[in-house]
Amino acid sequence: MVVPGLERWDEKRDGPPTEEALRARLEAQGYGASRYVYPPGTFFPEHTHPMDKIDAVVSGQFRMVVEGTEVILEAGDCLAVPKGTLHSAEVVGDTPVVSLDAVPI
């Protein structure tokens, strides 16, 4: 299934999915990123944002549902969420999610 706005990390092409590499990719696209750590059990119910954003996962697994389409983000994955798009997010499993929440600068 193709998920609009999803970019999977390609370790052969991009090297290891480090926080620094993800941040550099986001900054090259004109985004500034804030780092967050979400413990197991964290759930964000459906909501929207007044700006475009990208969720990038440094480690752990993040289940996101964007306008009814579910995707599991893992280390290095990025998901663009256009402004006004209804979405939810949830930490999957027993490992915290380290995430970069990026917005245009």
- Can you tell me the mean pLDDT for 16-26? 96
* CA 4/CA 9 separation, integer angstroms: 15
CATH superfamily of 6-104: Jelly Rolls (2.60.120.10)
pLDDT confidence of residue 53: 97
Q: Which two tokens stand for residue 91?
A: 């930490």
CA atoms within 13 A on the CB side of 32: 3
- Can you tell me the mean pLDDT for 79-93? 97
Q: Are 37 and 14 in contact (CB under 8 A)?
A: no
pLDDT value at 1 more than 70: no
Domain residue ranges of the chain, discontinuous segments joined by +:
6-104
Looking at residue 60, the DSSP 8-state letter turns out to be S
pLDDT confidence of residue 3: 81
Q: Provide the whole-model pTM.
A: 0.94
Q: Are 90 and 62 in contact (CB under 8 A)?
A: yes
pLDDT confidence of residue 4: 86
Encode pLDDT of 44-56 as tens digits.
999 999 999 999 9
- Can you tell me the mean pLDDT for 1-16? 89
